[in-house]
Amino acid sequence: MITVTVLNEKGGVGKTTIAITVAAGLASRGKRVLLIDADAQGHASRALGLAKYPGLYDLLVRNADYSDVIQAIPSGKYGGIGESTLYLIGSNVETRHIANSISDAWLVDEKLEPLEALFDFCLIDTAPTPSLLHGAIYLATDFVLYPTLCEFWSFDGLAESLVHRRAVESVKQVKVAGIIPMRVRSNTLEHTENLRSLKERFGNLVWPIIPERIVWAEASTYQVPVFVQAPNSDASGHAWELVDRVEVLANG
């Protein structure tokens, strides 16, 4: 199992969108995928049509059984066929209390260990506010994806996130898989200039842009991935490109 965490210490940059799209895309290709919602807002849970529930809290703090916290997402919801290969550990407001309730920084890693053989990918959607839970998630992570808007405060969130990654570097090798410019409006000078400086600074780490398209928001409204909402849209094309790139991370 490869664990990919989606992170940026800024809200509204597309973390949840990326996490659920990649998770659903991989699952619809038959990969066995575990999606972990680690944001108290529970949007990753809601985005695929499930209710919020304290799955992650129960697993980490109440030491609940896996079977009580892991839910299958019906394959019809994400464009899969046959038996579901997409599973969720959900979240609700209680996720906020996890950081105050755990003392073992390796807890997330330990809890994922028995699942290693059951899943091909684990996608983790995170909250914007840094906490001890983020540290514990880092220690369980193989690759990080950083979505960012091509705007000042998102770059600031990205910079902060990269600094915090460095803090755990001595104990755990976490690779930066890529930085994803989200909601880019290429017809604005602000976005094109900022994108240029992002590429200057990070080079090949910058993945292809995901342009601003209303179908992404519509997909949120209908609680399905964008390629289910609008399969023939160019947004779906961008989504599949993203899924391709994450899928090959498994090849090392």
Ligand X SMILES: Nc1ncnc2c1ncn2[C@@H]1O[C@H](COP(=O)(O)OP(=O)(O)O)[C@@H](O)[C@H]1O
User: Is 145 a residue that touches ligand X (CB under 6 A)?
Assistant: no
Q: Are 33 and 87 in contact (CB under 8 A)?
A: yes
46 interface partner picked from Mg ion, ligand X, none, CB below 5 to 8 A per type: none
| Shortest reach from residue 73's CB to ligand X, in Å | 17
How many angstroms separate the first and last alpha carbons of the chain?
12
Query: Which residue among 12, 79, 130, 135 contacts ligand X (CB under 6 A)?
Result: 12
Of 32 and 86, nearer to Mg ion (C-beta) is 86
Query: Which residue among 35, 182, 228, 242 contacts ligand X (CB under 6 A)?
Result: 182
182 interface partner picked from ligand X, Mg ion, none, CB below 5 to 8 A per type: ligand X
Of 85 and 145, nearer to Mg ion (C-beta) is 145
Taking CB under 5 A as the binding criterion, the range among 35-43, 65-73, 163-171, 213-221 that sits at the site for Mg ion is 35-43
Q: What span, in angstroms and rounded, lies between the C-alpha atoms of 106 and 119?
A: 20
Residue 122: both structure tokens together: 């684990």
Residue 112: both structure tokens together: 């994922």
The site string for ligand X over 18-47 (x = CB under 6 A, - otherwise) reads -------------------------x----
User: What region does 168 belong to: left with phi over 0, alpha with psi -120 to 50, or beta?
Assistant: alpha
Neighbours of 176 (CB within 10 A): 15
- DSSP class of residue 14 equals S
Coil/strand/helix, residue 167: helix
Of 91 and 107, nearer to ligand X (C-beta) is 91
Longest dimension (CA), the chain: 52
User: Is 95 a residue that touches ligand X (CB under 6 A)?
Assistant: no
| Backbone phi, psi, residue 185, to 5° | -110, 100
Q: Are 249 and 143 in contact (CB under 8 A)?
A: yes
Query: Which residue among 8, 16, 21, 154 contacts Mg ion (CB under 5 A)?
Result: 16
Query: Which residue among 72, 118, 159, 217 contacts ligand X (CB under 6 A)?
Result: 217
Binding site for Mg ion (CB under 5 A): 15-16, 43
Binding site for ligand X (CB under 6 A): 11-17, 43, 182-183, 210, 212-213, 216-217, 220
